[in-house]
Every structure is written in C-alpha cells, then in structure tokens.
Structure 1
C-alpha cells in the first residue's frame, strides 16, 4: 500500500523519537566507558559532556583490580550467588508446586497467609534482632537465608506449573511416583524457560543488592561488590583509598576509578543477559494472556 504524506511524516517523527530515546539510554553508558579510560586530571578540569576518551589510560582498571576490597567484594558476591541461586530455585519450585496443587488441605488459608506477607512485614528492627539472635550478624548467611524465596517469583512458577496437563501428573501418580519425583523429574524439566527467567530475576537481584549487607555486615572484607561501589560513588567514602599499599597512587585515579568500578560491576550482567533474553521474554509474558 502506498503511504500518504501524513503516514510518512508520522514514521519520520517516530524514528526521530526512537533515536532520541536510544541516545538518552546509551550515552550515559558510553560516557562512563570513556571516562574510565580517560585522564583523571582531564575529568577534574573538564566536567560535562564527553564524546571520546582523553589521554587514554587503563590505570583506573589496574587500580580497581589490584585493590583488595574490590577483589573481596567480587568474591563475596560470587559466594552469595553460589549459595543463594540453588536455594532460591528449589524453594520457589516447592512453593509454586504447592500453590498449583489441587485438593490440598487448608490451601486457601495458607495462600492467603502467604499473600499477606507481600503487603505487610515485621519491619527492619525485628528482622535485625532476629538475625543477631540466630548468630547471622556479620555473616554472609544473613544475605542468603532470609531471601530464600520470593513470593512474586513463586507465583510465576505456579502459573507455569498450572499450564502442565493434569493427566501427566495423574499418570505419574498411577505409576507410583511421589511428589518429589514428579516435581524434579517431570515438572522441573518442562518449565525450564521459566526456571531460567527466575534464575535471572534472583541473580540480578542478588548482584545489585546492597541494603541488607549495609545492615547485617560490619566487616569490610565481607561486603559484597555493590556495597563497595556505593561507598565509592554515593557515600563519598575513602574505603578504597584507606590502605597504605595504594595511597598516593589511588589518589591519582580518584575520579576515573569510580567509572572503572561501574564498568567492572556492570559488565558481568550485560554479558549474561543476552543468553537468557529469549527466556526472559517468555517469563514476562506468563500470565499476560488468560485463556
């Protein structure tokens, strides 16, 4: 069909708006990348727009990877991910399977109680006192155990499980399978796209989390990576420059190391996301259309 002049003008305006949105979205990332490899002296003397690196140097990245707190932050974050993700997925599968099961005693009341926790909580002070009484204060377990399951993610899992035909589960029962066998050998393989989305949700959540560590972790060597980054960027802390081993050399990269730290903490998620994008789209669409 031949487009009218009005249609062509509308398309041009749409393209221009989209290009502006792309520029607004990508330029901050491009600026951070350019600033991380530019001279510290130039950034301090010329704040504002930056279109290309000036006095190219990788010194900020060298300082970032050499500092023990950055390395310990990476280590702690990876430990949290390794301990949390298997626990998150198993607990979410249990909760989703329960909510999707039929003919469960008191199921309606239990689900109501679970839903209540999405709107009301005990508060920060009781949670803090509970962590201390359990001996989890200043321990990485305080960042793993309390967030073992997200009810929102469990609802997504429940929706995926509900899409599996009841006849498949009933035939497994007839063959002598129990609930554990049905869950992990029949249902879990059938909802792998949803599981991949939940892994992405949980993984990004743990990677970006900083508040819980700021409450429950006292030792700097146990802080996750995002808390180190926050201390560097927002709190204006000298946490990275406190050691004598870095001292003056750190000060010579005081500005550019902030941008290098942003790149270092962001790139891993950017590298993983493309591999899970197709599953992410499926997960977002779960429950969007009700048949």
Structure 2
C-alpha cells in the first residue's frame, strides 16, 4: 500500500509539473510574439477577400473592421444601428480603399439569420469575427436582481456565435482555409459571482470554440477564442485606459500578433500575465489548503 501511494504521489507531482510547463511555454510564446511579429500582414488577405464582423458598430468590432480593412480585406459590418454602420463604412472606404457591405441586424433576436445568409451570398469570406455581445449589468448584481434580459443575452452572446459560425464555416471548409475569432472574456476563465449569466455565456463561447478548433484544425481552419480582461468600450462605460485596461484599437492591433498562438489567447500580453499569475496563485492556494488540517475536517 505504501509503495502504491508513493507512485501515486509521484504521478500527481509529474502531472502538476507538466501543467506548469505548458502554461510557461504558452506564456513564453506570447512574449516572443509580442516583441517579434512573425505574422506577415498579408496573412489576413490570404484567408479570403472578405471579413465579416458582428457587433461592428462600436468598440472591439469597429476596431477589427478598420484593422482588417487596413490589411487589405473587404469588410461586412453587422450591427443593430444603421447610422453607426453607415458612418463607419464611409470612413473605412475613404481611409483604406476597401469595399464595405452593411447588414443591419439585431442579435438579441433569433429570426435574423436567413436575412444575413442572403446578404452574404457570393462573398468569399476568409475571416469571421464573432464579437457581438451584451453585459446587462456593469455593476455587480445578484442573479435575481439583474435586469430581466435573459433571452436577449442568450441570443446575443451565445446563439450569434453558433449561427454565424454555422453560416460561414461550411464555406471555409470547402475552400480549405479560414479564420474565426470568437471574442469571449476573462470572466469565462472562472465562475464569476454577481456576473453569473454573463460569465456563463462567455464560458460557453470559450468551450465551443476550443472544441470546434479540435474538429476543424486539420481542415486548414483556425478557430481562436480570445479571453481579454478590461477593454475600454461602451460596454464598460469607457474605463480609463492604463497598463491593464486597453483601448479597443490597442487590443485589436496586438491580438493580431497571436493568431497562430493556439486555440485560446487573452489577446494582449498584459492580460496574459494576469491569467498566468491567477493560475499560479490558485495552484498555490490549493496546495496550502491540501496541507491544512482544517481541510480534512
């Protein structure tokens, strides 16, 4: 029995070391890609002629629209507010020379996808950015006290990712290439009390994306989920940018460096450092709890 326990603890120790090693390698890769940009600017254009961005009327979606247009792609903007889309389309066309197509759609509804499908017909779509999302309560709130927007949040944060991926992935598969970026959140990395529904919806995006990449990686398609922490956008009431809180433009520009860095990424080095620190801290806390006599009571 003693020999068995010894072998068991050795196995657990090796497993823990391997987990730490994987995290360290991933972190080192992010540092390398942050300072040495190995992805050519022509990469995005090589995926296809068009990029589709949901939630393109503001924040991260708007920033991706401009960044991908600068990299030579034509852009499909999808969002709810027509006036915003028209203004962004004009600015993109004037500053980059790319063609822009507008699709007005409200992702809190579930009857919009046939309309979107019709408007995407005939386009060679190389990149899809599933960005649209909603946060019902910026301030912490118990589930029963939160705004009653459950169905809208499910449609916006979850159904949109499933349906837009379904519409576009089949064409990417037939062409043998494509890039799908799904914008999740740092709140997806752990249960987040007082933001329970938002956190859970973003955890779904994370899990769905990683499973999908395992299915379609061999077919030449890159599916990456991004789990950033604070970004200064209208959703976060334009938090003051600093070393941790990034502007949408800063985040998007940096996130493009990490497209080849695996199926999951925070999108910027500062947030990757936070995730790594929290991971190491959680392991240390678990080790202390395991060693504490009170843990056994």
Q: TM-score range by the shorter chain?
A: under 0.3
Q: Which structure carries more helix by proportion?
A: 1
Q: TM-score, normalised by structure 1?
A: 0.27
More strand by share: 2
Larger radius of gyration: 1
Higher relative contact order (CA 8 A, sep 6+): 1
